[in-house]
Amino acid sequence: MDGREINMGMYDDIIVPKSYLKGLLDKKHEKYIKTNHSFQTKSFESWMDVYKVYRQRLYIKEYSENIQKQNWKKLPLTTTVNFYDNIQNKDGDSVWVEFNFSFVDGNLDKKELVKAEISETQEERESIIKMWEIENKIFDKHRAKFKVKFFEWFSKCLRVLQRWVSAQIMIPKSVKDRAHKASGRRAVV
């Protein structure tokens, strides 16, 4: 599976110090990782939470009413966390980096590099942008035709009409309440 497929949808963030990745990445990739780099992960509930690795332990950020104070709670989990990011190198290429960190009772047990490879070169990205520009010129030319504009307008009118018709056939709340009261289903509030 290509790593870019993992990025879709909701995910959590995990902050991993650069020092924890030394020895896993070679120097050419390591220099593009920030000191406390934020990676994406889907190894948890994917509720857009923030986790971190600190002092060989796993933590989750707790949110409180006091926004200025950050509380981190230790997580005593035994799990493997897969995390990843797309970083950009000096040549403008996108480099996919992916890791697995295993935790036993919340303590870091094992670190593994899953992948560190160029996912898209700058030339490939420029080629794709050029392709999109060519396609959009053709699409825009088609959309500019009178016939297309007319049917787009007509479609919008039909949607407005459809919403109006739907509103006309809906059973009003007062009628529902009267029917429910008559049938004994529930009392009118």
Q: Which residue has the tokens 């035994």?
A: 78
Assign 187 a pLDDT band (cuts: 50, 70, 90): low
Mean pLDDT computed over 127-131:
94
**Rounded distance between C-alpha atoms, residue 82 and residue 115, angstroms:** 11
User: What distance lies between CA 71 and its chain's CA centroid?
Assistant: 24
Assign 8 a pLDDT band (cuts: 50, 70, 90): low
| pTM beyond 0.75, yes or no | no
Chain segment 71-100, per-residue pLDDT in tens: 899 999 999 999 999 998 888 889 999 999
Report which residue type is found at 74. K
Mean pLDDT computed over 155-183:
93
Residue 11: which of 62, 37, 57, 50 has the closest Cα? Answer: 50
Q: So where are the chain's domains?
A: 3-121, 125-182
